[in-house]
Amino acid sequence: MSETADVLIVGAGIAGCATAYYLAATGADVLIVDRGDVAGEASGVNMGGLGGRFPSESPTLDDALSFGSVGLFDELHDAGHDIEFRLSGSIQAIRTEDEFAFAERQIANASPNGGAQLLTAREVRTIEPQFSAELLGAVVFPKFRGEADPVKTTKAFARAAEAKGSRLSLSRTVTTVDTSGGAYRVETTAGPIEAKALVLATGAWSAEAGRWLGLDIPIVPVRGQMWATAPLPPRTFHTFSATESPRAWSDRSNHAADGPPNLTHIDGQRVCRHLYGRQNAAGEIIFGGDRHAIGFERRVEAESIATNKAQATEVLPFLREHPTAREWSGFMPFPRDGKPLIGHLPGSDNAFIVSGLASSGFGRGPMAAKLLANLIASGTPDPVLVAADPARCVTNI
């Protein structure tokens, strides 16, 4: 006999668990399945940074997802979940005159409500003493940027969803999906499931999941690599990035011809460095940055780690004294056109996707999930989701 649900969500990352939470709050009977564990892939191995860069005068989809999610993290924290949430602010380091001019243009075109400030290195060191005196300065984002623990947060959304009545079935692999009976009959390694609606929250594996439905979902797995020091006493207080990569990516010649955009390597050649990091509550300094579109190859490359650590050390010179204690990788879902996929999948009123959040799935996932849950419950998409409509790029195989 088949297990049943109003909505079956495939994927127990932050997007899937948060979708379950917001759907269950509407009274829907929700079942989440995952072939691994909660936060077993990208949602559990990222840096944990929250918030976007420069909010625009007319709010965009990215603004809605990034800054809306910060508020949802805050709500989860206020509800008593230990997710190590903190509105830390963020620092985007500037190394060259070209980067300084680029940062000036970004601030000039941004909404003043975002609070971005262009500071000299001396000024930055008054709020972040470990910041390098050798750099030209930084863009400081004192508002709407923060951090949280990825695993704790994703598991908190899963627990909150279960408290609302959702069910969670782990180590359960989907093998086929049959749509011929009007509902979705989903065969899994732990028995069949019949659901009225299906949500793919399958991250970097979305193209594979699309094939269950005979769809070509143009999401590419992009490998990210990260490293951490051993736990240290508190040394830094913000999250960190660098202006080098956004400036490089603003030049379309640094994009692969067939996408996705914003990679550090094209055809095996480095086009730029990329940086993000923070000190977590355990005391580890964690950083990452390289983005390789080379399929599902988990190998951590020594050159990538060394390049990223060198860039991090340019920003925080004390890191010269601290070797890496651990290194890891994970896969991010990069859409070929650079835009998320949130909404109905073509060809069905009851199949949905929340994916393609690229390198910001953790920070943008909760609001993406809430918007999708509202769409499923009401039948009406929020206007901001027009830019994320899967119909723009998903086709039949």
Q: What are the tens digits of pLDDT across the range 175-212? A: 999 988 789 999 999 999 999 999 999 999 999 999 99
Q: What's the start-to-end Cα distance of the chain, in Å?
A: 31
Mean pLDDT of all residues in the chain?
95
User: Would you mind telling me the total number of residues written for the chain in this entry?
Assistant: 397
Multiple choice CATH, 90-142+220-335, 3.40.50.620, 3.30.420.40, 3.30.9.10, 3.60.21.10: 3.30.9.10
**pLDDT band of 60, cuts 50, 70, 90:** confident
**pLDDT band of 57, cuts 50, 70, 90:** low
Does the pLDDT of residue 33 top 80, yes or no?
yes
Q: Answer whether 102's CB lies under 8 Å from 249's CB.
A: no
Find the range with the poorest average confidence among 72-86, 173-187, 363-377: 173-187
% of the chain residues with pLDDT over 70: 98
CA distances 261 to 52, 144, 208, 258, Å, are 17, 25, 21, 9
Rg (C-alpha) for the chain, rounded Å, is 21
Can you give the pLDDT at residue 188?
Answer: 98
pTM of the model: 0.96
Could you tell me the sign of the dihedral formed by the alpha carbons of 178, 361, 358, 379, in that order? positive
Q: Answer whether 186's CB lies under 8 Å from 51's CB.
A: no
Q: Answer whether 284's CB lies under 8 Å from 232's CB.
A: yes
Longest Cα–Cα distance of the chain, Å, equals 68
Query: Which residues 6+ apart lie within 8 Å of 144 measured at CB?
Result: 51, 52, 55, 67, 70, 87, 114, 115
- The string of pLDDT tens digits covering residues 218-271 is 999 999 999 999 999 999 999 999 999 999 999 988 888 888 999 999 999 999
CA distances 66 to 243, 365, 379, Å, are 19, 8, 24
Query: Regarding the domain delimited by 3-46+150-217+338-396, which CATH topology (the fold level of the hierarchy) does it fall under?
Result: FAD/NAD(P)-binding domain (3.50.50)
Nearest one of 90, 88, 95 to 54, comparing CA atoms: 90
Q: Which long-range contacts (CB under 8 A, 24 or more apart) does 297-301 make?
A: 297/223, 298/223, 298/329, 299/329, 300/225, 300/327, 300/328, 300/329, 301/225
Residue 31's Cα: distance from chain center in Å? 23
Using CA atoms, how far apart are residues 206 and 197, in angstroms rounded to an integer? 17
Measured at the alpha carbon of residue 140, what is the angle toward residues 116 and 287, in degrees to the nearest 5?
130
Query: Which residues 6+ apart lie within 8 Å of 74 measured at CB?
Result: 85, 87
Can you give the pLDDT at residue 36?
Answer: 98
Can you give the pLDDT at residue 189?
Answer: 98
One-letter amino acid for residue 345 of the chain: L
What are the residue ranges spanned by the domains of the chain? 3-46+150-217+338-396, 90-142+220-335
**pLDDT band of 279, cuts 50, 70, 90:** very high
